[in-house]
Amino acid sequence: MPTLAPSIIASDAGRYAACADEALRAGAEWLHVDVMDGHFVPNITIGPDVVRALRPVADEHDAALDVHLMMEAPEQYVEAFADAGADVLTVHVEACPHLHRVAQDIRAAGCKVGVALNPATPLGHLDGILPFVDLVLVMSVNPGFSGQAFIPESTAKVQRVRRRLNALGSEAYVEVDGGVGPDTALELVQAGAEVLVAGSAVFGGANSTEHNLQALREALTLRV
Ligand code: DX5
Ligand code: ZN
């Protein structure tokens, strides 16, 4: 079974902690926290204080806080997010000319190192950094908003990332983010994704979070 990481920005912005608690009670293993700066992506979401507020909720369920930094110059905020309680800090290769240094900083701050690729960014951009990462995040939408349609080519990209990691003997996680739901989850796991981020598929629609997570798990179990 893959790790399910509900994306908290798709929940009720006035009740992030309560929504996170609901998702973790319903069996999600990680919480995915989307940080957007209004420059790297055309949206502004949350900062270190929200991560700090979610930390006790995550602790109660032994869950990891998976923080996805969609921002320019993320190196300026590594310490702030680490200090706020992030377990994984993921930066975008497109935003980091000194990616190796940022990776070192993230590790020195005590977090797992993640790197993310936008849909149009080729895998070659990972060549120099793969040996140093704990997680590769394949974006399956253009980052900025929840609720966008999954880009079908992402599945093959997930598979190619997994193969490259295997060839290096790396056990880094492959995570996929954007438009993931019951219709796409299984093919992604079969392609090698180990962490599935889901926003609207978990928190959207008329059904409960518990029901939605159950539907996601069923889509994975019934047909595997
Ligand atoms: C997109 C974010 C995602 C997003 C996922 O920019 O990085 O984490 O919130 O939401 P869905 O699953 O609705 O695409
Ligand atoms: Zn994300």
Task: Starting from the CA of residue 178, give the closest ligand.
Answer: 1
Instruction: List, in sequence order, every residue forming a beta bridge with 44; answer none if it has no partner.
Output: 37
Q: Secondary structure of the chain: what % helix, strand, coil (to 5)?
A: 45, 20, 35
List the pLDDT tens digit at each of the 224 positions of the chain.
Answer: 899 999 999 999 999 999 999 999 999 999 999 999 999 999 999 999 999 999 999 999 999 999 999 999 999 999 999 999 999 999 999 999 999 999 999 999 999 999 999 999 999 999 999 999 999 999 999 999 999 999 999 999 999 999 999 999 999 999 999 999 999 999 999 999 999 999 999 999 999 999 999 999 999 996 54
Determine the atom of ligand 1 nearest the C-alpha atom of 198.
12
From CA 39, how far away is CA 83, in angstroms rounded? 23
DSSP letter, residue 96: -
Number of domains in the chain: 1
Domain that holds residue 130: 3-220
The answer to whether the beta carbons of residues 214 and 185 sit under 8 Å apart is no
Q: What local confidence, expressed as pLDDT, does residue 224 receive?
A: 45
CATH number of domain containing 69: 3.20.20.70
Q: Which residues contact 33 (CB under 8 A, 6 or more apart)?
A: 7, 8, 9, 46, 50, 51, 54, 65, 66, 67, 68, 86
d(CA 51, ligand 2 centre) in Å: 14
d(CA 136, ligand 1 centre) in Å: 16
Look up the pTM and report it.
0.98
Instruction: List, in sequence order, every residue forming a beta bridge with 195; answer none if it has no partner.
Output: 3, 175
